[in-house]
Structure 1
């Protein structure tokens, strides 16, 4: 979450976008990089670890459900296609790391800095809106899904002890409050995003999500208790994650990288390359729109039985 805040736009009193502030290296005679910052010590391995923790989240838990909706043929093919699209647009975004010359040009330290360096002011504003909507939506969505998952664990244990005919309903409000309190506690830690042990735990959790996702994809071979847990978690969980993914995928993963790349490389309109890039962006927009509409419909159905502070799962 701190990383998302660092990506937030900076504006002056007149509403104009402010360029990134000058950055200086730390004291003590530390060796400086070519831009005056403390020399970076990252490697391919550390960069890969950060990519893993950023890309692999609890969203992979819904991949089994998504695959089931599309079938074993179209499900994996669709995931592979959009994985390649994400990889391609990530490469376009990486090419925009420096403004001007790609070797010695000014570094863009945040996503917003890159957008401001290449695109128009209205695109900078809309990018900020998408980032904040994604940030707030993710915070709300994960609070909901975390509470549902905690309640599912409680119900699974309850059914195991008392049998499947027992009344094991539980209010999720308590779990939401606890989850929110933990977030507030962690947010008070200084330099929380720079803690080494946190990165290690995040990487471990990312792989754990992946292994759980593999396990969920094999749920047809698991006994009744696991099916009960899946039935408890999946409906609302998938709709929330689907909606968050839909509103964040096209603008932040496809549209802005494509537009910045076109502007950087000075690709002329209606050329073959321009048409190909814009067609890719349009295709992803339509897919995101369809996914958002479907997720909203699913959330609407789920909310019919949801009463704030009184709903049991």
Structure 2
């Protein structure tokens, strides 16, 4: 990959890390560096963030279970602390979009570009490896979680028609394949900037199923007249001491993952128009989205725990599987699926862009990579289909689908990816780049405070990684490839 940010390839095409377009200086559709003009706003950026964060099985719907492991004191406190850390580090990361002056400095189009401009060296490759492996893992997570929700709809209707004693066994595989087919189609959207409408739909869907989930929790508490749970969470006896420790670590990983959007933050910021400066817009979008996310997290986590207590399920919606109205749960699970369709694209578009940019730089004279097929659309401008994009993105979706079918380990695998990326991408790199940008003296009070925060988050990440790995080991005991059934 080229070390020069924003390289212009005028002899062939201009590649911006997400979309390849002909160089057309002076056009109203292009900015001063021959890139398509950005049109993103606070609302589209906020929708991207919410879509990336409110992630069903391993996100907001897992927080009742996480609260059950930590209890009424540590659970809510952990959610608030992670919200504060996420907002602070995201704001620092947003300052790295431009090198130098926040309004006129050179733009860094990707997270790797920001690390290259501020830190350089081996850290660039390390950042890229962690970011893109994480995004690949999250794509698998979306596939697994979507199949679980589709399967839940099928089973709910089966129980409703045949009775609760019916086995209603359903395989995940057909639903993973169906999800993969849909993603093959949506993956042909050229770049991140053009999926804004999909993110808005996904954000609305995430709000929908979250509202249904905590609404059902409120209804159950009102019906029983009892708030379940304890100050310290699930007790020894219900689980062993070792399980209590592992589960507490997993809970921290679930909460950390439920707030993380750092792997795609710079790429989201690159869709935002200017003026005002991208940093100001992104700061407002982060304030808005973190506030909305925290409200939903607290509501789902606390009301879910109040409804189910120590027996809170890993996916809050599954706890209401046998409750009426069953159609409301079907709506919630359908909203989860629609949301995950958008989340898959939010996670994958930066990875798509990186591979396509790298391929164009390695093979600048390749007709296969550069070739476009114009497809006329009545009443609309023609759609330009790139053969390389069609082939490679289709192969990518097929790979994620097959891996998801081989490893349907629910949310534990996804928590591993969340633990792996939380400290380096959400904390370490933003803090280190901020220190370099502001030239903060080593061992100063400010530097020391930032390092303490970084070390504390590293410890949490390690604990979450250990706990989630223990969960996967437990899953492997009953593992049968392609045999995920209820």
Normalised to the residue count of structure 1, the TM-score between the two structures is 0.83
Contact residue 20 and residue 113 of structure 1 kept, 8 A? no
CA distance in 1: counterparts of 2:52 and 2:73, whole angstroms: 28
CA distance in 2: counterparts of 1:53 and 1:152, whole angstroms: 21
What pairs up with 1:22-101 in 2 under 5 angstroms?
22=8, 29-30=27-28, 33=31, 37=35, 39-58=37-56, 59-101=59-101
Change (3 A) 1:273 1:214: same
From 420, 429, 448, the counterpart of 1:256: 429
Higher relative contact order (CA 8 A, sep 6+): 2
CA distance in 1: counterparts of 2:209 and 2:465, whole angstroms: 23
Structure 2 unmatched runs, 5+ = 9-15, 17-21, 218-299, 309-316, 323-332, 334-407
Change (3 A) 1:293 1:209: farther
CA distance in 2: counterparts of 1:30 and 1:270, whole angstroms: 49
From 228, 238, 246, the counterpart of 2:419: 246
Does residue 227 of structure 1 match 2:225?
no
Q: SS in structure 2 opposite 1:312?
A: coil
Change (3 A) 1:182 1:266: same
Task: Indicate the RMSD between aligned Cα atoms, in angstroms.
Answer: 2.9
Q: How far is 1:120 from its partner?
A: 2.5
Contact residue 99 and residue 108 of structure 1 kept, 8 A? yes
Q: SS in structure 2 opposite 1:237?
A: coil
CA distance in 2: counterparts of 1:28 and 1:164, whole angstroms: 67
The match for 2:178 is: 178
Structure 1 unmatched runs, 5+ = 1-10
Q: SS in structure 1 opposite 2:136?
A: helix
Q: How many corresponding residue pairs?
A: 294
The match for 1:208 is: 208
Change (3 A) 1:193 1:163: farther
Normalised to the residue count of structure 2, the TM-score between the two structures is 0.55
Q: How far is 1:123 from its partner?
A: 0.3
Deviations 1:72-119 (A, max 9, x none): 221111000011001000111122221122332112122111100011
- Higher mean alpha-carbon deviation, 257-266 vs 198-207, is at 198-207
Change (3 A) 1:311 1:103: closer
Q: How far is 1:221 from its partner?
A: 4.6
The match for 2:400 is: none
The match for 1:138 is: 138
Q: How far is 1:41 from its partner?
A: 3.9
Contact residue 25 and residue 38 of structure 1 kept, 8 A? no
CA distance in 1: counterparts of 2:38 and 2:192, whole angstroms: 19
Deviations 1:224-252 (A, max 9, x none): x953649xx9x953423422321121111
The match for 1:304 is: 477
Deviations 1:178-222 (A, max 9, x none): 222222222234457504532331221232243245346445659
Change (3 A) 1:191 1:32: closer
CA distance in 1: counterparts of 2:420 and 2:205, whole angstroms: 24
Q: How far is 1:42 from its partner?
A: 3.7
From 279, 290, 293, the counterpart of 2:466: 293
Contact residue 60 and residue 213 of structure 1 kept, 8 A? no
CA distance in 2: counterparts of 1:84 and 1:103, whole angstroms: 26
Contact residue 5 and residue 108 of structure 2 kept, 8 A? no
